[in-house]
Chain A
């Protein structure tokens, strides 16, 4: 754990899905994420990595335990409060990009800005900057289906950064990309981490991702079994 300000903290969180006798996806897990940290979460399929990411991002609530973003407890937030937190403090990147197919790259990136009330002109400028920073200045007006997988993932990364979030949570961001595009995406993460002091929590099976992380968290059966710094 670096000596930086802790911006995200999970405190003994457990998530139980009420399927049959109940499935414990995350089991009494505690972790901290410092500002500017690049944390990699890894482990076998079904060990609860994505569930953990959903909980950290406020997409779901833990059955037990508490999560804090800076000093804000998630359990004290209403559904609208959590949505506001996702709009302003958290950016998500997914394996299958999850762009809206009816919107262009620029419109996809502008969407989170428009949700927080950024004016059209300002959103356009910021969007152009973001897409330039991920190397897609020339592809702003293209639709997702007109782009390669690597390009779509870079649009998704630009969208995640749209509202300058405290943390970017990425769930298998290279899982659907070839080795070259995977390396490009991880390079982009590292560059954003270094240049913008952007905090990342990345879930990945990819061994190559280990080289980029400042800390590697290994999970097993919903709990942290090992941490490499």
Chain B
């Protein structure tokens, strides 16, 4: 989710031709805040934001967003340049991101909605609403990279700015990272505790293995393999359960099977890989304890 705001009043409206955008079959929503044209001052349009309308459109796909045919001059972003004969030439500016796509019909629907008669369309601010909040930071980053003359903020950032303006403590923009780390730590500690209990229950078995000739390192390896297996199985089970729900939502949103498959593979690799790595890291301590236990004392007890 991102709020994008362009420089108000800069540039000169000009006619343009409709670029040929590909039309995707993907859908999400984009909310565009549309000001009304109050008039002109010094040749620049004056926009009335007080009665701005909010237009929500079913737009979003997953793969690219293009703000094409930028009909204003912007030296910074080079949205239009002079050709070899010194004439001004429109250069469509494309915003590329892997997360958003606005199809041509939608784009022109926006223009028709916001542009007064006889003027070229311009939007100064619009909100992008994503279904997948996990991608919000990345989308905001992509948009900012694609539109260097614009201000792009994610909702957490915007909320924080708003709260600070009111003298409240801000919500950290990286809260999701903090939560993620906390979750991993809690899960890791639970794994350590569970493995410790497991080892205490099976210390005799490990002592027997040492007595018949396994080294401490081999016993430690055995425990680590077991921890890895548990971590892998847990990650697969958890991921499958959540993914089933997400896949249902994506299917309702008419996302194609191929795209769902790709997303599943990408997130699956990330989740399973990181969970297994975490299991390995947190499994070292219980495995070390298993390696160091005093074998003879364990084997003497009933």
Contact = CB atoms under 8 A, between A and B. Distances in A.
A, B: real partners: yes
Interface of A: 50-51, 53-54, 57, 59-60, 79-80, 82-84, 86-88, 92, 94-96, 98-100, 111-112, 115-116, 159, 163, 171, 176
Given A57-B211, A98-B207, A115-B213, 5 more contacts: A86-B210, A87-B212, A87-B213, A112-B213, A115-B212
Contacts of B213: 83-84, 86-88, 112, 115-116, 163
B85 interface: no
B77 to A, nearest CB: 66
Interface centre among B211, B217, B299 (most CB of A within 10 A): B211
A143 B152 CA distance: 69
Interface of B: 204-205, 207-208, 210-218, 294-296, 299-302
Nearest to A88: B213
B299 A98 contact: yes
B294 to A, nearest CB: 7
A83 B296 contact: no
Given A54-B295, A60-B296, A98-B299, A80 B212 contact: no
B299 A79 contact: no
A46 to B, nearest CB: 12
Contacts of B210: 59, 83, 86
A128 B210 CA distance: 24
Given A50-B300, A59-B296, A94-B299, A79 B215 contact: yes
Given A54-B296, A79-B217, A98-B204, A92 B301 contact: no
Nearest to B294: A60
A53 B214 contact: no
Contacts of A83: 210, 213-216, 218
A159 B217 contact: no
Contacts of A53: 296
A53 B204 CA distance: 18
6 contacts: A59-B210, A59-B211, A79-B215, A84-B213, A86-B211, A86-B213
A50 B296 contact: yes
A48 B205 CA distance: 24
A54 B217 CA distance: 19
